[in-house]
Chain A
Amino acid sequence: MPAAPSFSQQFKAQARRMAADLRHRGLIRTALAKYETSRDLQKSAFQDWQGARQAAAERKWDAINHLDTHLEAFASRLEARGTHVHWASTAAQARQIFLDILREKSARTIIKSKAMTAEEIHLNDALEKAGYSVVESDLGEYIVQLRGEAPYHIVFPAMHLTRGEISALFAEKLGSAPTDNPEELTMIARTVLRDKYITADVGITGANFAVAETGMVSITENEGNARLTAALPRTLITLLGIEKIVPKLSDLALFLPMLATAGAGQAITGYNSMYGGPRQPGECDGPEEYHVILLDNGRTQLLADPEQRDALHCIRCGACLNVCPIYRNIGGHAYGTTYSGPIGSVITPHLRGLQQWKHLSQASSLCGACTEACPVKIDLHHHLLQNRRNATSRQPIWWEKLAFRAFGFLAAHPALIDKLIPFARFAQKWFHGIVKGGPLDPARAWTATRDLPPIAPNTFTALWHAKQRAEHRKDDAPR
């Protein structure tokens, strides 16, 4: 049996296919042009966006560099209100914690609001295999669930689909009449979902922030679905990565509008809720039981890297994906990771193995648009460089190393280059045309789609010499 293609080979094949897909390119460009306009409008509502970024970076620096104490404070305050707090080192442990709770509650149906952390641990898959019925309540997430797909984007799971495609999907899976009216499409999904909230035994949510000071989970969303997911079922489970910490409640005054602006071009997200425990004595609503699962799953490895620790500042706004020219041309699915785009390329090698995922750090022109867009100032594109360095210093590719050594030798002997250039010029002029762009062309990676400029008739060094000689002659000429 042939070996399964590596993650790198799969990525290259997917990227090649998507990069040539002009329909996809146009769709994403149009969608993101709208986002850019509203994002810029909302940014201008900040008195000083750059100052806000700096403040946010400093708050997250505090959160991450004192993560141990913040996490303990967060957990103990939740527990004081009767919340069960669980600590999961790995994805498998987290899944087991879920299964244990569900078994104890004799649950059968689960309603879930959007959580990338749940995607990260492949929760739905594990729950369905164990016989539970799970329904995603976020519209975009529900659409990709019906399609059996992973979310295309951290914030906009179904950004890659047109209204027509969604209508056809609903017609096929839900038996609805075709429509390209977005409100009607939303109503079709709502009718199905409302029923699920009422009958679900357990609700599962993610979290946007975890406030250490008050022991509260902050969830921000636009459809009210997370609120219903958290309020209606008797048991509520929240899964979150340990990096979600912010030290103080007042930090949300900065982070909530910042997340809305950078993530969706909104002044503030539609619904912002806080959860601090199960129903308290004297309260008339809320879940009877509340579980919070704190997930490590490789995050402490990133924490141990002083160079790239700031990647844990990430608030999962997706701004770096939106501006990334790679993401915009290959789309979210090509990455083959939970977290796509620049932040995914930075953290996936830490979470899932450097050598298996280093190709994502190489698949970048290092343009830095991501770093410029990041609201919490993660040095994203420089981290890609560091991943490349770490990957090659631990496991160099022999022919690359040899090629760079040979280049180094030539660079140290420019006189030799001067002697070789006429040969290269001759070969390019007389032979390259014969093989250009074909399988025998050594420069095929370039020439398959692009012309190569000719080596100049005279190099700069030659022109410089000629100029020097002319000036000497002028100086030496009798006056």
Chain B
Amino acid sequence: MRVTLFVPCFMNAMYPQAGMSIVTVLERLGHTVAFHEDIFCCGQPAFNAGYWEEARSVAGPVVEKLAADGADAIVIGSGSCGAMLKVFYRDLFANTSLAPDAVAVGERTWEFSDFLVTKLGVTDVGARFPAKVTFHDGCHGLRELRVKQQPRRLLEHVQGLELVEMRDAETCCGFGGTFSAKFPAISTAMGEVKCTSALETDAQYVVSNDSSCLMQIQGLLDREHKPLKTLHLAEVLARQ
């Protein structure tokens, strides 16, 4: 299958290994991966802040390029940016000339774990990662894209990996994009609750399909000098 990888802006700058791990996993499964260097961001920050016109100026070219690229699927290693393409582009481009393309792009777009499990029917990618991990559900992946069991199915098949559920795994970590900077006190309190739940499990790693949540969780853990580490799901699945 020809797959176009969409790399979110912060993943490109801060977590490139997560992106490269997706490439590794997909290529191991025999798929061809392409990447558009001229696509940088999905436009979600402006969209969420209410600046839809500015969001369209970022997202419009994304829709045009992805609509024309002919790949069988567009894969994103983020439930949040995935939700932007699959769910929110419909609203953003409603009643514009790009509406049909936006819908078509959304239909070809898959969150990484959903792509593996639902689209490809793969649950064992041949990974080995001997560690105790707990999984954090990113809200957009969970509630906008209905991704809940997919990452767990994949983790269950990783050799040596022990998956433990944390209390309130579905509770928001408090990142929320610009929310984290506009309301830092609330965001921090939410993050502390999440970190407490994760620490209670005695896991070595918090794994998620969203690097943005992990940035929030790791940022708080590091400030408190906790040994618990965060890892993107793809980085676990790429280990052998």
User: Contact residues of A with B, CB < 8 Å?
Assistant: 12, 15-16, 19-20, 25, 29, 325-326, 328-330, 362-369, 371-372, 385, 388-393, 396, 400-401, 404-405, 407-408, 410-412, 414, 417, 421, 445-446, 448-456, 458-464, 467
Contacts and interface: CB of A to CB of B under 8 A. Distances in A.
Contact of A369 (B46, B171, B189): B171
B175 interface: yes
Interface of B: 7, 9, 11-17, 19-20, 23, 35, 37-41, 43, 45-55, 57-58, 61, 139-140, 142-144, 170-172, 174-177, 179-191, 193, 215-216, 218-220, 222-223
Contact of B61 (A385, A412, A417): A412
Nearest to B46: A404
Contacts of B49: 388, 392, 400, 404
Nearest to B191: A450
A451 B223 contact: yes
B40 A392 contact: no
B54 A404 contact: yes
Contact of B50 (A20, A393, A407): A393
A363 B48 contact: no
B227 to A, nearest CB: 14
Nearest to A390: B50
Given A326-B190, A404-B45, A20 B40 contact: no
Contacts of A454: 14
Contacts, number: 187
A20 B175 CA distance: 17
B38 A369 contact: no
Given A364-B176, A453-B215, A464-B35, A325 B193 contact: yes
B189 A408 contact: no
B193 A25 contact: yes
9 contacts: A12-B183, A326-B190, A367-B139, A367-B176, A369-B172, A372-B143, A412-B61, A449-B223, A453-B218
B184 A449 contact: yes
Contacts of B216: 450
Nearest to B9: A411
B48 A385 contact: yes
A456 B14 contact: yes
A452 B12 contact: no
Given A372-B143, A411-B58, A446 B179 contact: no
B38 A414 contact: yes
The 7 closest A-B pairs by CB, nearest first: A365-B176, A450-B219, A388-B50, A367-B172, A392-B50, A367-B139, A368-B143
Contacts of A390: 50
A446 B190 CA distance: 14
B184 A448 contact: yes
B20 A463 contact: yes
B215 to A, nearest CB: 6
B175 A445 contact: no
A20 B185 contact: yes
Nearest to A17: B185
A417 B40 contact: yes
Given A363-B186, A411-B9, A451-B218, A459 B54 contact: no
Contact of B179 (A363, A389, A412): A363
